[in-house]
Amino acid sequence: MLSRLGTVLLFLTGGAIALAWFTGFGFTIPIEKAVKAEVTAMSSPGLINLKILGALERDDIEEADMYVEVAKFLGYEIPETTILKLNDAHELSATVVRNTYQFGQGFVTGKGDTNSGLAGAVTSDLTVIGDLRDITLEGTKMLSGQEYSELILGLSVVGIGVTAATIATGGGGIVAKAGISLLKAAKRGGRLTNEFAALLTRMTGDAVNFPLLRQTLRGVDLTDLTRTQRVLSDYGRNVRGARLLPVLTRLGDVNAAVGPAETIRLMKFMKTGENLDDIAHMTKRFGVKSRGIMELTGKIALRSFKTSFKMIEWLAESLAALIVWIVGLIGMALMRGVRMFSRRTA
């Protein structure tokens, strides 16, 4: 009876291994554990410390803080000397001066790489000043036959229309407005990939009738901001943003999770709308350390991380136990054979 059971178990073990191999059946493990394992394999305490120090050398406090979060996630201890440098960089007086300057620069130019600078850029767009500034600059170039940014001009027109909707709905379009501002800042700063910029330009072209826009701008004195705003607000109500608005909403999700500066820095990983969705899911799960995870592993989608152990891999990790198990089963089967042989001989 025992030998027969051993034969059955040996057969079932082989069948289970074959099934795991061909079907990829696995034991699910927490995504945090899977991501942490891969990031740990691609980094070290020394490497993370160097990245923090390098960011501080460039006066990039947000980059440094991001890698501090990565260090905490991995359980790495940050050297005392690095902590002292971080504390110095975060001193109140230095922070106030830096943030004030960056906010003002972002408000005036619409450019920025830091949260403070981008806050200024977003604020200027939310007050319509940014959109009017960009329509005046890019629209003048378009009418004079100069090279202009169709993307920035189109986004600004969409922004004017969204502003009207925001006022009408009591703030319902603020997320879309913030997304527009971030995209414009990313375009100016050269942060958009060519693929994502082309995708956004096509979507903006679908939303904005550029031949009609050209005619509209020709009939307006762009130096008269009040008149320009009124005309473009009327024009903006006819903008068809059905394809573009979901992208702006997704960017708003990323912005809510990691802030404007990190959102723009993450755009270097965006080439398609699917990439944007992947990054939105990643940032919702891992917050500001998401970019560090992507930088270290080269992966932007949660599904691309090893979220399960295949049965064959699990068995391989317990090779010694597997060998004992199989040898035991074989032994039981051999015992049966010896007994049968003994009986026949007798």
Mean pLDDT, consecutive 10-residue stretches, the chain (346 aa), reads 54 59 54 90 95 91 93 95 91 60 66 65 68 89 93 90 51 70 86 94 90 89 84 79 86 90 91 95 95 94 70 50 61 63 61
Report the pLDDT value the prediction gives residue 247, as an integer from 0 to 100.
Answer: 92
Cα–Cα distance, 63 to 51 (Å, whole number): 8
Query: Which string of b and e fits 93-114 if b means at least 16 CB within 10 Å?
Result: eeeeebbeebbebbbebbbbbb
Report the pLDDT value the prediction gives residue 309, as an integer from 0 to 100.
Answer: 46
Report the pLDDT value the prediction gives residue 14, as an integer from 0 to 100.
Answer: 62
Domain residue spans in the chain?
1-29+308-339, 126-271
Report the pLDDT value the prediction gives residue 281, as an integer from 0 to 100.
Answer: 95
Q: How far apart are the first and last CA of the chain?
A: 20
Report the pLDDT value the prediction gives residue 108, as an integer from 0 to 100.
Answer: 66
SS3 69: helix
Report the pLDDT value the prediction gives residue 123, as an integer from 0 to 100.
Answer: 66
Q: Which of 68, 9, 29, 99 has its CA nearest to residue 291? A: 68
CB 173 within 8 A of CB 266: no
Cβ burial of 56 (10 Å; 0-12, 13-18, 19+) is middle
Q: CA–CA distance from 3 to each of 35, 333, 334 (Å)? A: 45, 5, 8
CB 128 within 8 A of CB 160: yes
Return the structure tokens found at 143: 């009418």
